Structures are given as structure tokens and as C-alpha cells.
């Protein structure tokens, strides 16, 4: 793919990327797709997928209490529990603000561990990684930010998101639609968004501006980016998903480069 060659101009030492069509086939790739990168917050969609599988298996329920008083599993997945960014300290009533929270995902991981009597990383491996053949992916720490993976593995996950086998389509549709509509909050790196729409573990493009996806990305686009210089998006309207992993922390370079790459991919294939 010609568009992926734009990555050659990124100010990074190592980068890899892939584009996956809705039918699961690869449209193109770039760089060392088997190289393992820290995912940072791209960990969250993987963790959320494990929780959603647990919901379908009956191990937990979306509306059961979890986290601070008044909060549920649904609140934690949607960053609406009111917990602070990096500590389990309530800063707002559940359902009133979109407070992006690593602590919330850590509470979620603990909740699932207690409900299943299986360590969260092991549950993730059994429920998501192993069935999808993501053999190079592991979670050595926090379900909010500590997964390590490759473009090859995340391309498998991107294919699953477009044609789910591990989840019902209805559950995935709910997870990639607005949960608790109208909540305002900060999108890390991009400032206040009104509204700051989110699904169940997936950040939603909608009409957010500025945003890390492209100007031509459809409002239905969803995914996540990570502070380690990583992203994964799925654009259902285009029938495409893109994964890019780098070894340079998110910053002004990414704010400039990522939307240009996304628009080029969509122009080439969309």
C-alpha cells in the first residue's frame, strides 16, 4: 500500500502498521509486523473484549455494582464511574462526567478476577488471545495499559472487530455505540470534548474535533490510541481497520502524522 509508506517520514526509530479489510484480509502492511511493542492504552479494547465475553458467558453483568458506590461494570467500561485517572478515588458521581480512568480499568480487572476466580491476564488469554491466535500478546500488568503485542496480532483482533466470532454482533454493536450519551470530558492529548462520546471500552470518533483519526473518518469510527505511540481504529463505513505501533511516545508528531495517514489509507482504499 502506497499510503503506508508515509510512515517512512515519521520521526520514529521503529514502526509497523497494517490495514485489514472487513472480510479479514490484509490490504497491506509496513515494517516489522512481528516486532513486539508496548501498547499503552490500546490495551483497553483488549481488556474490554474479555469483559464483554465474560458478560455473554454470564460471569458478570453490565449493570451489576462495581467500583465506587452507584457505579457498575458498564460505568467502568465507559469511563463514567467517576474515578480519577490514576487512582481509585471518586471525583464525580457515576454517570455524570466522562473521566478517563486507568484506575477504573484496574478496578474492572479486579472485579472480573473475583467473579471468575481467574487472574485477569489469564482470563484475557483464554477468552481473547488464544482463540484469535494472538500468541505474541501478553498482559504482564495493568489491564489499562500494560499489554505488549505485535501488528500481526492486533490485525487479528481488528479482523475480529469487523466480523466477530467471539462475541455476538449485538454485543459488539452496543460496545461501539455511545454509552451514557451527552457526557463531557477530556480526551487525553486533545482537550475537552463536548460531548466526549465513548462506548464500552472503545473510544468513538463521532464529531470530535480535534481527533487522532482522519478528517475523512466516518463518525462511526471507533478504536483507541496509546501514549506509547500506538493506535487501532475501525471504520465500519469504509470497511477497513488500521493498526500502527511505534517506539516513540505520543506527542505533537503523532497529532500531525496520524490523521494524515488515516486520510491517505481511506483515500486509497475507502
Residues 132-172: tens digit of each pLDDT = 999 999 999 999 999 999 999 999 999 999 999 999 999 99
How far apart, in whole angstroms, are the C-alpha atoms of residue 270 and residue 93?
A: 41
Residue 174: how many other CB atoms lie within 10 Å: 17
CATH number, domain at 225? 3.40.710.10
Q: What is the pLDDT of residues 227-247, one digit of tens each?
A: 999 999 999 999 999 999 999
Q: What is the pLDDT of residues 57-116, one digit of tens each?
A: 999 999 999 999 999 999 999 999 999 999 999 999 999 999 999 999 999 999 999 999
How far apart, in whole angstroms, are the C-alpha atoms of residue 54 and residue 247?
A: 32
* The pLDDT of residue 23: 95
Q: What is the pLDDT of residues 210-228, one digit of tens each?
A: 999 999 999 999 999 999 9
* The pLDDT of residue 270: 72
62 CB-near residues (< 8 Å, 6+ apart): 55, 72, 73, 74, 77, 200
Number of domains within the chain: 1
* The pLDDT of residue 125: 98
Residue 175's domain comprises: 3-269
Amino acid at each position: 500500500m502506497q499510503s503506508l509508506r508515509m510512515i517512512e517520514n515519521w520521526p520514529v526509530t521503529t514502526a509497523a502498521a497494517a490495514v485489514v479489510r472487513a472480510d479479514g484480509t490484509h490490504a497491506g502492511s509496513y515494517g516489522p509486523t512481528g516486532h513486539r511493542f508496548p501498547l499503552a492504552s490500546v490495551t483497553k479494547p483488549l481488556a474490554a473484549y474479555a469483559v464483554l465475553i465474560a458478560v455473554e458467558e454470564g460471569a458478570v453483568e453490565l449493570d451489576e455494582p462495581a467500583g465506587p458506590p452507584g457505579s457498575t461494570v458498564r460505568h467502568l467500561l465507559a469511563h463514567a464511574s467517576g474515578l480519577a485517572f490514576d487512582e481509585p478515588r471518586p471525583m464525580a458521581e457515576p454517570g455524570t462526567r466522562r473521566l478517563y480512568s486507568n484506575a477504573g480499568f484496574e478496578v474492572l480487572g479486579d472485579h472480573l478476577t473475583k467473579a471468575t476466580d481467574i487472574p485477569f491476564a489469564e482470563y484475557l488469554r483464554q477468552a481473547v488471545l488464544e482463540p484469535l491466535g494472538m500468541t505474541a500478546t501478553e498482559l504482564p500488568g495493568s489491564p489499562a495499559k500494560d499489554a505488549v503485542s505485535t501488528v500481526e496480532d492486533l490485525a487479528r483482533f481488528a479482523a475480529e472487530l469487523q466480523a466477530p466470532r467471539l462475541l455476538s454482533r449485538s454485543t459488539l454493536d452496543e460496545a461501539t455505540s455511545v454509552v451514557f450519551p451527552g457526557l463531557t470530558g477530556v480526551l487525553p492529548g486533545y482537550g475537552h470534548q463536548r460531548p466526549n462520546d465513548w462506548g464500552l471500552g472503545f473510544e468513538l470518533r463521532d464529531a470530535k474535533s480535534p481527533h487522532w483519526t482522519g478528517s475523512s473518518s466516518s463518525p462511526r469510527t471507533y478504536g483507541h490510541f496509546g501514549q506509547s505511540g500506538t493506535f487501532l481504529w475501525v471504520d465500519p463505513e469504509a470497511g477497513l481497520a488500521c493498526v500502527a505501533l511505534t517506539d516513540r511516545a505520543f506527542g505533537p508528531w503523532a497529532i500531525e502524522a496520524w490523521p494524515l495517514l488515516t486520510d491517505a489509507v481511506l483515500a486509497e482504499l475507502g
